[in-house]
């Protein structure tokens, strides 16, 4: 690893790599856990437990950290470039990511050649957010920061606005804040799973956060603010969530057991991400950056690989997990076509009873991450040694 030369900031890549590895656990659970396709959801208080919920909760860190650091990377990428060049890159990369989400990522998730279900998830959200960021970077930096704070802290005030139907205004609202599942043609559906308004706030704050890693910013100054902001975010979460004040659409309630009460308390809203959700995910992430900055060992080198090729890893891991699920069916003598996840398969109930224990899910996750490591490392080295190839910045 020491022979690989890079100007990238290692602590940021380590954090990104960590959330990418954790993300794979959530997706392995999606494909392998018993009845994950038919209602065995970690957030369901009637059937969950603290281990299953915790498995889901730790993966909550992935999307906000990924989006936040996308903004930070945009700032660092544009430090020595004209804003026009940065804006063009953000807008064109955003358009590319939207294309990838609709036509490539959806196929990798479902293997349905008819594209009966289009799920607009985090890649779609990042693409749209990059386009917006590519426009607003021309504003004064203080105004950009104010806009990001206003969106993140204020968007929950819009929770009461509920739209229905498939009018243009309704669809725009589904894209921005509400989220919705719609039929757009006979046998074809679309889900606006990641309403983008709060994610715009996250990427904008990530962009402003890049100032702490600017070349003229001292390490002591950066670490002071990482500690202050990270700690303040966590304290704010417990205060707002504890009093059920504003920060989440669904309040927590006392349950018949302490275990379920804890689950209810931490079961914050991701779609769209509430203020509480963002405080308890981004706060610890900033503290992680505070503590990891001067640490370099085998573990950080391992995570660094995934953090430097996040898009490549994301697309590859979905493909490998889905193929792994097919292989699992073949090895157990079941019909591999069950993993062709078209609308009929997903709605017929044929997947009831499919899946494995949570212990098996964790073992599969470890095997897949280790298998992807040498591939990602090879690609990382290729990118590092071929910086003159402009198209690599889109992959």
- 3-state helix/strand/coil string of 246-307: CCCCCCCCCCCCHHHHHHHHHCCCCCCCCHHHHHHHHHHHHHHHHHHCCCCCHHHHHHHHHH
User: Confidence class of residue 330 from pLDDT cuts 50, 70 and 90?
Assistant: very high
Q: Tell me the per-residue pLDDT of 269-288, one tens digit each, with 9 for 90 and over.
A: 999 999 999 999 999 999 99
Tokens of 282: 């981004």
Q: What is the pLDDT of residue 119?
A: 96
Q: CA–CA separation, 193 vs 156, rounded Å? A: 17
pLDDT attached to residue 185: 82
The predicted-structure confidence for 378-395, as pLDDT tens digits, reads as follows: 999 999 999 888 888 888
What is the model's pLDDT at position 273? 97
Q: What's the pLDDT tens digit per position in 67-109?
A: 999 999 999 999 989 999 999 999 999 999 999 999 999 999 9
User: How far apart (Å, rounded) are the C-alpha atoms in residues 3 and 106?
Assistant: 37
Question: Percent of the chain having pLDDT more than 70?
Answer: 98
Tokens of residue 35, six digits: 């009845």
Residue 389 main-chain phi, psi, to 5 deg: -85, 105
Q: Measure Cα distances from 253 to 106, 240, 278, 394 in Å.
A: 36, 14, 20, 45
**Model confidence pLDDT, tens digit, residues 248-264:** 999 999 999 999 999 99
Over residues 204-242, the pLDDT tens digits come to 999 999 999 998 999 999 999 999 999 999 999 999 999
Q: With cut-offs at 50, 70 and 90, classify the pLDDT of residue 7.
A: low
Question: How confident is the model at residue 213, as a pLDDT?
Answer: 95
- Whether pTM > 0.75 for this model: the answer is yes
Per-residue pLDDT for 5 more than 60? no
Over residues 140-155, the pLDDT tens digits come to: 999 999 999 999 999 9
pLDDT at 149: 98
- Domain range summary for the chain, segments of one domain joined by +: 10-393
CA distance 212 to 127: 24
Mean pLDDT computed over every residue of the chain? 94
């Amino acid at each position: 690893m020491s022979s690989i030369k890079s100007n990238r900031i290692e602590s940021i890549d380590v954090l990104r790599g960590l959330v990418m590895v954790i993300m794979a656990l959530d997706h392995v659970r999606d494909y392998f856990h018993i009845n994950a396709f038919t209602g065995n959801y970690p957030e369901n208080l009637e059937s969950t437990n603290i281990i299953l919920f915790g498995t889901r909760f730790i993966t909550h860190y992935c999307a906000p950290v990924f989006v936040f650091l996308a903004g930070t990377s945009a700032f660092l990428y544009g430090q020595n470039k004209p804003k026009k060049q940065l804006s063009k890159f953000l807008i064109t990369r955003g358009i590319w990511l939207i294309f990838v989400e609709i036509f490539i990522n959806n196929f990798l998730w479902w293997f349905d050649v008819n594209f009966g279900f289009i799920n607009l998830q985090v890649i779609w959200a990042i693409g749209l957010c990059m386009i917006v960021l590519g426009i607003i970077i021309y504003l004064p930096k203080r105004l950009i920061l104010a806009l990001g704070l206003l969106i993140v802290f204020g968007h929950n005030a819009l929770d009461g606005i509920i739209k229905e139907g498939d009018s243009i205004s309704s669809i725009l609202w589904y894209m921005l804040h509400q989220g919705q599942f719609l039929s757009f043609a006979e046998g074809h559906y679309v889900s606006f799973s990641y309403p983008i308004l709060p994610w715009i706030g996250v990427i904008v704050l990530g962009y402003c956060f890049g100032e702490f890693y600017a070349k003229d910013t001292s390490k002591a100054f950066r670490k002071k603010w990482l500690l202050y902001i990270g700690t303040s975010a966590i304290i704010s979460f417990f205060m707002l969530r504890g009093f059920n004040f504003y920060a989440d659409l669904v309040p927590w309630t006392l349950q018949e057991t302490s275990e379920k009460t804890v689950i209810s308390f931490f079961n914050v809203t991701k779609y769209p991400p509430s203020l509480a959700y963002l405080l308890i995910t981004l706060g610890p992430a900033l503290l992680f950056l505070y503590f990891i900055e001067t640490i370099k060992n085998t573990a950080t080198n391992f995570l660094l690989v995934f953090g430097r090729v996040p898009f490549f890893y994301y697309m590859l891991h979905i493909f490998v997990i889905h193929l792994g699920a097919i292989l699992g069916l073949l090895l157990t003598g079941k019909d591999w076509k069950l993993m062709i996840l078209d609308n009929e398969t997903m709605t017929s109930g044929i997947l009831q009873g499919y899946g494995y224990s949570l212990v098996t899910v964790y073992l599969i996750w470890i095997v897949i991450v280790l298998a992807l490591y040498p591939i990602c490392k090879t690609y990382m080295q290729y990118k590092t040694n071929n910086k003159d190839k402009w198209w690599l910045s889109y992959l």
